[in-house]
Structure 1
Amino acid sequence: MSTHRYSALLTDLYELTMLAGYFEKGMHRQTAVFDMFFRHNPYHAGYAIFAGLQPLLEYLSELRFTASDLAYLKALGIFKPAFLDFLEGFRFRGKVTAPTEGTAVFAAEPLVTVEGELAEAQLVETALLNIINFQTLVATKAARIVSVARPGIVVEFGLRRAHGPDGGLSEARAAFIGGARSTSNTWAGQVFDIPIKGTHAHSWVMAFPDELSAFRAYADCFPDQCILLVDTYDTLASGVPNAIIVARELRASGHEVRGIRLDSGDLAYLSKEARRMLDEAGFPDIKIVASSDLDETVIQSIRNEGGCVDIYGVGTQLATCGGEGGGSLGGVYKLVRFDHHPKLKVTSDIAKATLPDRKRLLRAVLPNGEYCLDVICLEDEEPGPGTTVFDPVNPARTKTVPPDAHFEEVRQVVMQNGQITRPSPSLDAMADRCVEQMRRLPNGTIRLTNPHIYKVAISSGLHDMRTRLMQEALENQPGYREE
């Protein structure tokens, strides 16, 4: 469910100037294929979780320039009337191929492929990267957090630190796909039907004469949703004891305190002591919620130290995608075929050389269901078990597809002629897919430190094509001389 149509002006100016140039040179109707991919897994992780496809498809299906958009572009004094007339009737009528959201993906793989007329395929670059880069990064961060928090539950708390209102909405959606299946963001609850959770702030406690009065008032207002924030003054000396008093009073009236929240201090120690106090008082079912600038490394340390946290409220580090190797995904969008010819970006650094032409992305699966290798191949290739494949960065390194493996397609056509061809799964189904995908990754892939590097390879046909195109490009450079 979308809340509003994305503007056609959600783009960088150079997309429009290139488009105007293609239009003037009569190139805008020629066919083009672009791939979106990233070069390095975020967070130095062993994987990423793909997200953002449904919002992207909504953007593409609704893309059009309004009268006010065209008036603004005309006022810039950059564009000619004939080009503005062309934009008035502009629609995206291309083809999109992509994985299902919640799929584990890896560096160098073509994720979203856009095919159509050069004008439409070029124009959508900025918005596509904006949507997919951010939501994939958030989903990956959430999956990392959830993987170390289990069996604890993760709640997304990031709205107040998110990058603007729309950032907060997109972040809550992507975090759900990554495994944070509830949020404090009420708007996200309405838009995406995500369960919403919350307690109260320190200001509630401070607004009353004392902590016990504040807790009693909150329990009176919300007898069946009562989670008490216990660290306003002294967590163990007053907060938890007062929560126990209110829990006894609430139980006597036929209700139960559902939880307490710790928002500061040594969360491992405080949660252990709070758990002991609650259990001794006869309240083993009261949950302990922890917040306070949590991320995957902090949660892992709490668990390693025997902390007794049931629910982790994760805000800033999730909403801002913090952490080493985070901050941005670094996805790029490159031309791989134009006017019926494969195209290659040539560079002295082969790690930045693109993979040309239309491609398939295949995942080799062992008999036990475990994923072992991804292979990028040309669309008409059919690599099988026992095939030799090549490292995309260092082609001298090869690998053989296990003889007992079979291949699964990672991507499907999701839009054809500008029309969505596959109904989007529910967010719950996407989140379930994320869990299932991570379960099937090789041992060590999801660990936080020095993870197993999942193998991504290119087929012999793609390797040969890239080698040939690189050689042809070099030979066509002025001053080139083969040694």
Structure 2
Amino acid sequence: MTQFESRNITMMMDLYEMTMAYGYFKENDTEKKVAFDVFYRKNPDGGGFSIFAGLEQVIEYLENMHFDDVDVEYFRSLNLFDEAFLTYLKNFRFHGDVYAFEEGTIMYPNEPVVTVVAPLIEAQLVETAILAQINHQSLIATKARRIVKAAAGRGVSDFGARRAHNMDAAIYGARASYIGGVNGTATVSAGQMFGIPVGGTHAHSWVMEHSDELTAFRSYAKVFPNNCTLLVDTYDVLKSGVPNAIKVFQEMKDAGIPLTRYGIRLDSGDLAYLSRKARKMLDKAGFTDAKIVVSNSLDEYTITSILSQGGCIDSFGVGERMITAKTDPVFGAVYKICAVEENGKFAPRIKVSETVEKITNPGLKSVYRVYDEEGHAVADLITGFDEKVDFSTPYRYVDPEKPWKNRSYENCTAKPLLHKVIEGGKRLTKTKTLQELQAYVKKQLDNEIWEEEQRFENPHKHYIDMSPDYYEMKMSMLHNIRTV
């Protein structure tokens, strides 16, 4: 077997993409351009929205696509492709254009969040890698946001690396979690790569390695006097853990050591009950500013329950249920062809299914977010790519679920959501920091997106409307297919 020193992420594809590319190559379709849309069909956990994440990694992937000699040799070993095609792969680069939502944009089902316009082979080969990044990071960012909302202003940190599906899932899951609103991560490589604040104290093994709990706490406080959060549930939270922590805090105070960042962590048991009891004990001892951090299989539902029971908690460490989005672990974005270049123009294509939700929106499109006078997002509007949208007067639109109703936007404004981010294979946009992306998500949810859409249970459904011309085009294509 051929050995290689490092992986080439370009090879992260399904084989059928390469077999189709070879078919197109044999048919001399290397230059014909097509358009593919990335969209998804439902929000995870029955939510009212999702968060678009992973675009930065998609751009990096497309800019750096290439096949090394070892990759070409691997394809040769499959005995599926001729030498002319393998030579084509040696010189392969992505030369297409990409339109996308800004990373961090609140998004909804059945609207294109990425559109790839490229030569047919190039557009086909990128499918798996694009979907892998967007499906994963959008899922985790959306889950993280739900958990942050449940925490109601308390800190949330990503503790998920050891339960992630692999190392990449841990690193990019931490990135997505931060976009979704968490304060930091325990994953060092994610902190190094993306500038995410990192945090961590000690495990039960620290306590168990020492001769007794009090000695373990004293030793840790000596090493980290300015970051002293003690794990108090190794043996007995209320009878030994919290009392020993209080004893150490008092010793530090008596020694003149400033108590800046300090507190306790609970990782098991009835977190609502134990945190209430621990808070009383800490306050009675005079340590009213000591923080209580909890962890242990938390998500938005358990956090909501703990807080509703009066849990006295300052921050949450959330692991497996966020990093794997355990309650609904598949995002389900798809990559579908929507247009093919014919005689210098893009002709729309549509996929038809007996399952109504799987009928695609054809053609090159624009997507607008429509706002009322107070700046609330009332709907998203899909139009043809070159359609002019004028909101200076009432704008008639079609609700595709109730097309018989005559409806208009009045006193509204709109902004386009799809922007060209790659042209001719080269990036057009600058990289944003995760802090900027996180702030962008928060701004939308605080100021633009209806609170009713942010409910965990029975959220308001965001409207995805169509321009009359676009809707008629789609219906005409469906009618013609039925006729055939």
TM-score bracket, normalised by the shorter chain, equals over 0.9
Q: Give the equivalent residue in structure 2 for 1:467.
A: 475
Q: Give the equivalent residue in structure 2 for 1:409.
A: 416
Q: Is residue 418 of structure 2 the alignment partner of residue 419 of structure 1?
A: no
Q: Is residue 282 of structure 2 the alignment partner of residue 278 of structure 1?
A: yes
Distance 1:411 1:401 in 2: 23
For residues 16-415 of structure 1, the aligned pairs below 5 Å read 16-253=18-255, 254-256=257-259, 258-323=262-327, 326-339=328-341, 340-385=346-391, 386-392=394-400, 394-396=401-403, 398=405, 400-415=407-422
Measured after TM superposition, the shift of residue 305 of structure 1 is 1.2
Give the TM-score taking structure 2 as reference length. 0.95
Measured after TM superposition, the shift of residue 397 of structure 1 is 5.7
Q: Which amino acid letter does the alignment assign opposite residue 271 of structure 1?
A: S
- Aligned to 1:445, the other structure's residue is in SS state helix
Aligned residues of 1:388 and 1:398 also touching (Cα < 8 A): no
Q: Is residue 482 of structure 2 the alignment partner of residue 436 of structure 1?
A: no
Distance 1:319 1:374 in 2: 30
Distance 2:482 2:27 in 1: 27
Distance 1:300 1:399 in 2: 42
Return closer, same or farther for 1:212/1:433 CA change in 2, 3 Å cut-off.
same
- Aligned to 1:382, the other structure's residue is in SS state coil
Distance 1:336 1:6 in 2: 29
- Aligned to 1:8, the other structure's residue is in SS state helix
Aligned sequence identity (%): 42
Measured after TM superposition, the shift of residue 179 of structure 1 is 0.5
> Over the residues paired in the alignment, what is the CA RMSD in angstroms?
1.4
Distance 1:398 1:384 in 2: 20
Q: Give the equivalent residue in structure 2 for 1:455.
A: 463
**Residues 223-271 of structure 1, C-alpha deviations (whole Å, 9 max, x = no match):** 1111100111111111111111001111223132612101011111111
Measured after TM superposition, the shift of residue 382 of structure 1 is 2.9
- Aligned to 2:409, the other structure's residue is in SS state coil
Q: Give the equivalent residue in structure 2 for 1:445.
A: 453
Measured after TM superposition, the shift of residue 405 of structure 1 is 1.1
Q: Where does structure 1 lack aligned partners over 5 or more consecutive residues?
A: 477-483
Q: Which amino acid letter does the alignment assign opposite residue 377 of structure 1?
A: T
- Aligned to 1:122, the other structure's residue is in SS state helix
- Aligned to 1:56, the other structure's residue is in SS state helix
- Aligned to 1:224, the other structure's residue is in SS state coil
Distance 1:399 1:269 in 2: 56
Measured after TM superposition, the shift of residue 6 of structure 1 is 4.7
Measured after TM superposition, the shift of residue 368 of structure 1 is 1.4
Question: Where does structure 1 differ by over 6 angstroms across 4 or more consecutive aligned residues?
Answer: none
Q: Which amino acid letter does the alignment assign opposite residue 19 of structure 2?
A: T
Q: Which amino acid letter does the alignment assign opposite residue 273 of structure 1?
A: K
Measured after TM superposition, the shift of residue 150 of structure 1 is 2.3
Distance 2:310 2:415 in 1: 41
Select between 125-134 and 247-256 the one with higher mean Cα deviation: 247-256
Aligned residues of 1:48 and 1:104 also touching (Cα < 8 A): yes
**Residues 317-365 of structure 1, C-alpha deviations (whole Å, 9 max, x = no match):** 0111111xx1111000000001221111122333211111111110111
Q: Which amino acid letter does the alignment assign opposite residue 371 of structure 2?
A: V
- Aligned to 1:270, the other structure's residue is in SS state helix
- Aligned to 1:171, the other structure's residue is in SS state helix
Measured after TM superposition, the shift of residue 437 of structure 1 is 1.2
Q: Give the equivalent residue in structure 2 for 1:480.
A: none
Distance 1:269 1:401 in 2: 53
Distance 1:399 1:71 in 2: 60
Aligned residues of 2:180 and 2:438 also touching (Cα < 8 A): yes
- Aligned to 1:355, the other structure's residue is in SS state coil
**Residues 152-191 of structure 1, C-alpha deviations (whole Å, 9 max, x = no match):** 0100000000010111111000000000130000111111
Q: How many residues align?
A: 470
Q: Which amino acid letter does the alignment assign opposite residue 264 of structure 2?
A: I
Measured after TM superposition, the shift of residue 401 of structure 1 is 4.2
Aligned residues of 1:32 and 1:337 also touching (Cα < 8 A): yes
Distance 2:134 2:319 in 1: 21
Give the TM-score taking structure 1 as reference length. 0.95
Distance 2:390 2:231 in 1: 58
Q: Which amino acid letter does the alignment assign opposite residue 355 of structure 1?
A: N
Measured after TM superposition, the shift of residue 276 of structure 1 is 1.4
Distance 1:399 1:245 in 2: 72
Measured after TM superposition, the shift of residue 26 of structure 1 is 1.1
Distance 1:73 1:424 in 2: 34
Aligned residues of 1:373 and 1:401 also touching (Cα < 8 A): no
Aligned residues of 1:153 and 1:310 also touching (Cα < 8 A): yes
Q: Which amino acid letter does the alignment assign opposite residue 102 of structure 1?
A: G
Aligned residues of 1:8 and 1:69 also touching (Cα < 8 A): no
Distance 2:152 2:119 in 1: 47
